Structures are given as structure tokens and as C-alpha cells.
A and B are shown apart, each in its own frame.
Chain A
Amino acid sequence: MAYIIEALNVCKAFGSNVILDDVSCQVGAGENLVLFGKSGTGKSVLLKCIIGLLTPDSGEILFEGKSLLNLSLKELNEQRKMIGFLFQSAALYDSMSVRENLEFPLIRNFKFSAADREKKVKDVLEKVSLENAIDIMPSELSGGMKKRIGLARTIISEPKLILYDEPTTGLDPITTKEISHLINNLQRDLKISSLIVTHDLMCANIVADKAIVLNEGKIIFEGKLEELTKKEDKFLKDFFSPEEIQHNSGSSNG
């Protein structure tokens, strides 16, 4: 399988605190990879290393086989146009309306006419089922709506890969399912690959083609989600009890 993004032997430390210790993972084209791990184990740090918000101490980040490290800002930004990033808080620009949030990357990164921009804005809002929110300010949106608008802002640039930083944290089960199905729809309809950082098993059950588990800076599992329960590792047993997976699997299907 051709990989869209590869993190190879990535190490990152803040002072003497080692966050990522020789971490490697790959996301195949059109694949959803879920990255599990306890809070503070470096999941978000890995995402930030991939997108270039942090620089790894060592290792390599490849996007479609091309290194993302040691690029000039201009070159890096060209690659970033093909990679979307959904922040845990959605990070909507709170001084701008939903429309302005969505148009913001289009105006600055592409040369669309006003009519084309309007059409794209309406299209993505339809995809996230929030057509009526077009002129609302972010402060008037609920947590789930913010996530959807954040997702709309991410997909409006038609990226090949989206990095999700805990897309369902803090949401109720129904909204969690809706966001998770939305991620699947993007994979199916737009062929977008995803790297999803989460500790939400319901979300993982819906979206994961493959899962990896990060603990104390190292990858301790890589494979299918169902295989997780069969592992004898104490951390994995504690994190993914079979009952929990079964329960979440049941509720996600139902």
C-alpha cells in the first residue's frame, strides 16, 4: 500500500522530558488510522510534528514520499495546503463569522471568484449539515457545531489527509457518532485519509481501519482494533477491556 504520510523514528523531548521515543507510523492512502494513548503520552505532539508546528529532535516525516522537514516556510506551506488539521477546540477564528472562517483559507491560498467561494462555502456547510449557520459567530455555536464548522473549514481546501486531534472529546454520544460518521463519509466520498488521535472507543469503532497505541513515548501496538482485546499487555488490557470495546461497538452499530 502507498503511504500518504509516514513518521519514521521520530524522537521529541522537551528538556529532559522525553515525549516521543523512536516512534514510527504510517497512514495508507484512503485509510483511517486511529492513534490511542493516555493523556500526556505525546499523541498531539506527534500530530504537531507532522504538520510542522513542532520540529522533531530526530527522525523523518514524509508526505507522499517527500520529506516535510528542512523545508523553507514557503515549501512547507505548499505541502500544508494538502493536509488538514482539526484542533481539539476546533480553533475557529472568533472575530469572524462562520462564512469568514470558511472563506479565510480560500481567499489567501487559492484564486476562486466570489461566486465560486460562496458555492464552496455552501457545499461544505451542507456536508456538515449546518447550512443555516453561515452568518453565525463562533461564540453562538455549541461544542458539536464548532467541531463541525472546524471540520468544514478543514475540508474546504480539499486536503488529501486530515489530522484529527481528539475530534469527539467533550461531546455527547449522539454528536460523537455524527462526527465519527462524518469522518467516514469524508473518507468514502472525498477519498481523504485520516490520522485520528482519540481515546474515545465509540469513535474509534466507527472510523478505524487500523489502530496504534502510544504509551510512554513508544508505539506498543499496531493492528486491527479487534486484535487489541486479545493482547496480554497489562496497559492494553486496562485501556481496552473487551467489555468496553463490545459495549461501544454495540452502541456505535445501533
Chain B
Amino acid sequence: MADDTELKGKGLLKRFFETISNLSLFSIRFFKEVLLPPYEFAEIKKHMYELGVKTLPIVSVTGFIIGLVLAMQSQPVLKRFGAESFLPAMVSLSVVRELGPVLTALIFAGRVSSGIGAELGSMRVTEQIDAMEVSAIHPYRFLVVTRILACTLILPILTLYVNFLAVIGGFIAMTLTESINLQFYLNSVADSLKFVDILPALGKTFIFGFIVGSVGAYKGYNAENGTVGVGQASTSSVVLASLLILLVDMVLVKVTVLLWPT
């Protein structure tokens, strides 16, 4: 029984590393193909709208609530230590450095990675990708490059928007318990944020966007076994993209701390 479990564990681990290895090769191909014509600007614009703008409602709610709840939870604790004036700084630093990028990326993965996986998976099993290939059109360039690029470009913009809403959420939470001036609050936020808080965090959202796009595209592009395969591509895209976002975040936080020690 124990041997059986061990074998299954080893099999899972092997499959995970195989997936990561194939995903890496699939993603590396992007850097070669993205530079080659034809440049599908209209497709990229369309995907940025489809994948980004339509994610706005869910990330808006999330961003606002993160800031609101974070401030509401932290206010009594800070008050106990007489450090209530640090609340704007605490909210903005937590949101800008970590919560904003990671939570936006996770929500984006849930909505977008599964969508890309299902759409490309469905195109694969209905032979639409093969139809492109036999028509002498590069399906990777048309379907994959455009989606990865759209995800990579749109996620940083979404994150900035979420950060802004979370900071506003923090302000609203503070106004519920005391009278505070918006100008004063925003000044405190601006004073607390430095280059090392904003740019590395924003930089990693490009990487998260790339992960979301490439995982969804990889799972969909390689889908098999009919409609069952499409479902699997969709769900496994979310799981893998979320897992990779958290793992990569852990590494990037360490790198940021090493490069810019505070």
C-alpha cells in the first residue's frame, strides 16, 4: 500500500516536471516567433479587449475589497500601538508590493487562462488548428503569440488599476471610523512608496501575464481526447498557472530583496 502511494507520487512528480519542461519549450518558441511577420496587431488588440477589459468588473470588486478589508483589519491593531497614522503606508505598501500583483494575477489566471485553454483546445479537437496549418498559416503565430502578448501587456495595466482601487478602499475604511482628508491620505501613500516598491512589483506582473497566456495556450494547443480534453485543458490551465504564479512570486520576492535591500 505504501509502495503503491510512493509510486503514484513519483509518477505525479515525473508528469509535473515533464509538463514544466514541455511548457518551457513551448514558451521559449514565443520569443522567436514574436519577432517574425506577419504582425497580427488587430488580433492582439482584440485579445487585449477580450481578455483584459472584460476582466475589469471582477478585478474592480476584488481590488476595492482588498484595500477596504486590509484597512479595517489593520486599524485596531495599529491603534493599539499608537501607530494609526501608518495605516495609509501599510495599506499602500502591502497592496503595491504584493497583494495587488499576486491577487490580480490569480484572478486573471482563473478567468483568462481557462478561457484560452478551452478556446484553443476546442479549436484543436475540431481540427481548426490543423486547417490553419494546411492553409500555410502559422497557427502558433496567429493563435498563441497574439494571446501571450495580450496577456503580458494587459496584466500590468490591470494591476495598476487594482492597486489604485485598493488604496481608495483603504481610504473608505478609514473614513468609516474617523474623519480623514483624502489629500492627506494620498500624500501619506505617495510619501511611503518608493521606486523599489513600485517598479519590481510592476515588473513581475509582466512575467505573471506571460505565465497566464503561455500556460493557457500550451494546454489548449496540445489538447486531445475530444471534449473531455477541452475540459481538462481548461481546468488544468488554471491550476498550473496559479501554482506557477505563486512559485515564481516567491523567487522574485527573494531576488527583489537581494537586489534592493530595504
Contact = CB atoms under 8 A, between A and B. Distances in A.
Contact of A80 (B119, B128, B135): B135
A116 to B, nearest CB: 18
A157 B131 CA distance: 13
A250 interface: no
B136 A109 contact: yes
Interface string A66-106: 00000001000110110101010101111100000000110
Contacts of A92: 128, 131
Given A53-B134, A77-B136, A108 B38 contact: yes
A72 to B, nearest CB: 13
Contacts of B133: 52-53
Contacts, number: 50
Chain B interface mostly: helix
Contacts of B142: 108
Interface residues of B, number: 16
A195 interface: no
A27 B119 CA distance: 37
Interface string B117-140: 001000100111011111111100
B134 A85 contact: yes
Contact of B131 (A83, A93, A108): A93
B158 to A, nearest CB: 23
Contacts of B138: 73
A11 interface: no
A186 B22 CA distance: 43
Nearest to A150: B131
A49 interface: no
Interface of B: 38, 119, 123, 126-128, 130-138, 142
Across the A-B interface, the 5 shortest Cβ-Cβ residue pairs? A77-B136, A91-B131, A91-B127, A80-B136, A85-B134
Given A94-B126, A105-B137, 9 more contacts: A53-B134, A85-B135, A91-B127, A91-B128, A92-B128, A93-B123, A93-B131, A108-B136, A109-B136
